[in-house]
Amino acid sequence: MILVNLRPGQKKRGRRVGNPFAGLVQRAKGLGSRVKDPWLVAGAVSWALVLGFLGFVWLNNVRQLAALEPRLEQVRAENKRFKTFLEQKRKQELIRDSIAAQIKTIRTVDGDRYVWAHVLDEITKALPAYTWLVDVTPVAPPAPPAPPPGADPKKQKQPVDSGPKGLTFQITGRTVDIQAYTRFLRQLEASPWLSEVTPISAQTVVESERAITAFQIRAVFRQADSAYIRTVPLSQSVR
């Protein structure tokens, strides 16, 4: 039996209005019928997704790299600046170490050059009237007291280190007044450069038919605190 559509336009419009996705569904069914291997389609879709993801990652990395390039240039500039600063600092440290070594050498050479000048200056300041000196000589420092017999040397207390060793010297002098001798001792003890001032002997002797007091004093010269050190220029301009 043959059917003839006398109004084909209205039928087509009715189909288009009634189900617009009908053609798409039919095409999908036709495509599904044409595909013989579904795994091939799945692989193609997977590759498409992978390529899309890689493209997204690449674009994202390119955008981040473009954003980080100004910071990279800034960090390079700071690195160059700090590198120059560190090189200058090393040069300054080398100069400082060289100057410190030279100062140490000079102090080693000249460390004891002006010791006796300081010693005589302090003795002169402390010397009272009617008192004169006979001799000022360096002597060996007194030995530590020996332990009592039978004592264990391991249990003996070790002497406390009181700082750098100084110059031990002995003063021999004369005075016509015993009070001047005691005043001389007190003034020597008051000096910041002298320590361990110890009277050795004081006895009456006759010189030139006159009774005088002969005395001996031992003391130690040490470097005074910087508060007591006064420096003066070697030369001054005279107007």
Q: What is the pLDDT of residue 146?
A: 64
Per DSSP, the residues of 189-218 read HT-TTEEEEEEEEEEEEESSS-EEEEEEEE
Higher per-residue confidence, 83 vs 166: 83
pLDDT band of residue 161 (cuts 50, 70, 90) is very low
- The neighbour count for residue 29, using CB atoms within 10 Å, is 10
Task: Determine the average pLDDT of the residues in 80-106.
Answer: 91
pLDDT at position 141, please? 79
Output 91 or 32, whichever has higher pLDDT. 91
Q: Domain spans of the chain?
A: 35-111, 115-141+167-223
pTM of the predicted structure, to 2 decimals: 0.49
Opening angle at CA 167, ends 215 and 105, nearest 5: 155
A 10 A CB-CB count for 14 gives: 11
Query: With 80 as the cut, is the pLDDT of residue 182 above it?
Result: yes
The mean predicted confidence, pLDDT, of the chain is: 79
Report the phi/psi class of residue 116: left, alpha or beta, with left for phi > 0 and alpha for psi in -120 to 50: alpha
Q: How confident is the model at residue 40 (pLDDT cuts 50, 70, 90)?
A: confident
% of the chain exceeding 90 in pLDDT: 32
State the average pLDDT over residues 197-207. 91
pLDDT for residue 14: 46
Q: What is the assigned CATH class of domain 115-141+167-223? A: alpha beta
For residues 225 and 227, what is the distance between their CA atoms, to the nearest angstrom?
Answer: 5
